[in-house]
Chain A
Amino acid sequence: MELPSAKEVGAAANATLPRMGVRGITVEYPGVRALDNVTVDFTAGEIHAIVGENGAGKSTLMKVLSGALTPNAGELLRNGEPSTLRGPRAAIRAGISMVHQELNLVATLSVAENVLLGREPTFLAGIAVDRSQQRERARALLDMLGAKMDLDRAVSELSIADCQYVEIAKCLASEAQVLILDEPTAVLGEHEARKLLQLLRRLRDEGRAVLFISHHLDEVVEVADRVSVLRDGRLVARFQRNTLGMLQSEDGMIATEDTLAQAMVGRELGSIYPPKGSAKSGATAAIELIEFGAADRSRDISVTVFPGEIVGIAGLVGSGRTETAEAIVGLRRPVGKIRVAGAERTFKHPRAAMRHGVTYVSEDRKGRGLHISLSSVANMTLPSLDAFSQFGGARIDAVAEHSVVMRWINELAIRCARPGLPISSLSGGNQQKFALARWLETRPNVLIIDEPTRGVDIGAKAEIYRIIAALAQEGLACIVISSELPELIGLAHRVLVMRQGSVAGEVTREQLAEPGCEERIVRIASGLRAERQETHE
Chain B
Amino acid sequence: MNRAPRGTTGTTPFARLLEMLRPDLLRFASWLARDRSVAEDVVQETLIRAWKSRDELKDQAALRPWLFTIARREHARLYERKRLPTVDVDEVEALGDPALATEGDAALDDLRRAIMQLPDEYREPLVMQVLGGLSTAEIARELGLSQPAVLTRLFRARNRLRGIYGLEPAEDVE
Physical interaction between A and B: no
B residues apposed to A, CB below 8 Å? none
